[in-house]
Amino acid sequence: MSDATLGDLTLPAGKSVSDLKWIAIWCRRYSVNFNHLAVPANFASPAEHNIGQLSGSYGLSATSVVIVNDQKLRFEGLQYDGSCSGARFWAGTGSTPSSSGHFVRNEHNSDDPLVAYSGDSDIELILPDGESVFEIGYIGVWCQGADVGHVDIPAQSQLKHSCKAVAGAVVLNVLYNIILWRRQSSSLLARVNVY
């Protein structure tokens, strides 16, 4: 796991967060519970949300742009001819792309300009520095000071069952902290109760 990704906490086979009673930060060495969180009985697992098609100049298109979670988006069937020198993924606030937006690293976590995409595969992007899809108004491609094409991010109220729209957001944030704490000490582990 790299510092650029949140990582995953693997649950026992056949179990989901909805099956859990609680999640704890546990120290094996001293048998101490550093912290725990009860999972609400009515917890609804976050669902992906298709926010529409992408189209633009330079052959830019995607059959769907999907919010995977509050920091990750997937471009399905992405096509781009690669002919605009210096093109990069771009996000920002408001509904109209402008120079006040910012670059988003590509699917290889690189700042390199975009290459051609043939539409044969899907790519996933992670927003920078813990930024959430609820903090941006659009995502797309920017090149030479101009919008190549973008898709608007719906308001949070329209993203039913998204990571920040359900009670499970707290659980997901705790999972993230468990992963960080686990990296810092071999004595810590995430303990999951699945009664």
Q: What is the 3-state secondary structure (H, E, C) of 108-136?
A: CCCCCCCCCEECCCCEEEECHHHCCHHHC
Secondary structure of residue 104 in the 3-state scheme: strand
pTM of the model: 0.66
Element (DSSP H or E) covering residue 4: none
Evaluate if residue 105 carries a pLDDT over 80: yes
Tell me the DSSP string of 128-160. GGG--GGG-SEEEEEETTEEEEEEEPPPGGGST
Cite the DSSP H helix spans in the chain: 169-184
Q: 138-194: per-residue pLDDT in tens?
A: 999 999 999 999 999 987 655 644 444 333 444 445 554 444 444 444 444 444 444
Q: 7-51: per-residue pLDDT in tens?
A: 456 777 887 777 888 877 778 888 888 777 788 888 776 678 899
- The domain ranges of the chain are 17-45+166-193, 49-158
Alpha-carbon gap, residue 175 to 121, rounded angstroms: 29
Tokens representing residue 20 in the block: 């859990």
